[in-house]
Amino acid sequence: MYWNDYFWFMGAILLCLLLSAIASAKVRSTYAKHDNVRCRSGMTGYDAAIRLLRANNISDISVGSVGGTLSDHYNPSKGIVNLSESTYRSNSVAAVAVAAHEMGHVMQNKNGYTFYRFRTALVPVVNFGSRLSMPLVLIGLLLDWYSATTTPDIGFRVAMVGVILYGGSLLFALITLPVELNASRRAKDMLLAEGILTQDELPAASQVLSAAAMTYFVSLLTTLVYFLRFLLRVLTLFGRRSNRR
C-alpha cells in the first residue's frame, strides 16, 4: 500500500514539475514576444509606475530597480515597488503591463482589498506552521506510543494540529490566486484610464499577465499535492500503529 501511494505521489509531482516548466516557459516567451513591441505612449515601466502613483495620489511609495528578469515585486513593509531591470527601463507593452500589475498590489493594500489583507496576515502563520508541523507529528507519534492505554487519541490529535499548520501553505497558495488575478485586472483598468496603453494594445498586455497567472495556478496545484501526501502519510502512520495494538 505504501509503495502504491508513493508511486501515485511521484507521478503527481512529476506532472506538476512538467506543468511548472511549461508555465515558466510560457511566461518567458510571452514576455519576450511583447517586450519587442514599443507602447505608443513611449512610457517605460518606471514611468508607468510613477504615473499610476501620482494618478492615485499615493506619495508614500517609491519605485526602485532590482537585478534579474521578472523579479518585480511590491514590498509593503518598506513602501517600495521594485521593478526588475527588464521592466524598469523598457518602454514595451510587456514592461508597462508588469509594472502596472505591481501597482495593482499597491492599490489592493491601499484600498484594503480583503484577500490581499488575508494573504498578508497569513505570512507569519505559514512561516510558523511550516517549522512546527513536522515536530508536532513526531510528538504525536511519541504520545501515541506512550499514552496508548490512558489517552489513546491524544497523539493523533497533536499530529493533526501539525497537519493543519502545514495546510497553511495550501491556504496561502489558494488565496494568492485571486490576489494576483485581481491585481492584473486593476492593472489593465489603470493602463487604459491613464492612457499608458490604448485599447488595441491591451490584448498584448493581457497575454503577459495571463501567462504569469498560470504559474500561480500550478503553484497551487503543487502545494495541494504535497499537502495531500503529508495528510495521507500521517493517517497511514497512525493507522498502522492502531492495527498493531
User: Is 207 inside any structural domain?
Assistant: yes
What is the per-residue DSSP string for the chain? Answer: -HHHHHHHHHHHHHHHHHHHHHHHHHHHHHHHHHHTSB-TT---HHHHHHHHHHHTT--S-EEEEESSSS--EEETTTTEEEEEHHHHS--BHHHHHHHHHHHHHHHHHHHT-HHHHHHHHHHHHHHHHHHHHHHHHHHHHHHHHHSTTT-TTHHHHHHHHHHHHHTHHHHHHHHHHHHHHHHHHHHHHHHHHTTSS-TTTHHHHHHHHHHHHHHHHHHHHHHHHHHHHHHHHHHHHHHHHHHH-
pLDDT by residue (tens digit) across 177-220? 999 999 999 999 999 999 999 999 999 999 999 999 999 999 99
If pLDDT is split at 50, 70 and 90, which confidence band does 2 have? low
Q: What is the pLDDT of residue 244?
A: 47
102 is catalytic: yes
Average pLDDT over residues 6-35: 90
* Residue recorded with cell 509531482: 13
Residue 119 maps to a domain? yes
Would residue 77 count as lying in a domain?
no
The pLDDT tens digits for 10-23 are: 888 899 999 999 99
Q: What is the pLDDT of residue 241?
A: 56
Residue 116 lies in a domain: yes
Q: Which of these is catalytic: 102, 180, 194, 201?
A: 102
- Per-residue pLDDT tens over the stretch 58-97: 999 999 999 988 899 999 999 999 999 889 999 999 999 9
Query: Is residue 29 in some structural domain?
Result: yes
40 φ/ψ angles, rounded to the nearest 5 degrees: -65, -30
Domain containing 22: what range? Answer: 2-39+111-244
Quote the cell numbers at residue 165.
Answer: 499548520
For residue 209, being part of any structural domain is answered with: yes
Residue matched to cell numbers 512561516: 127
The predicted structure's pLDDT at residue 147:
61
- 73 falls within a domain: no
More confident residue, 135 or 57: 57
* Mean per-residue pLDDT over the chain, rounded: 88
Q: How many domains does the chain divide into?
A: 1
pLDDT digit string, tens, across residues 135-156? 888 888 777 777 655 566 787 8
In a domain, 99, yes or no: no
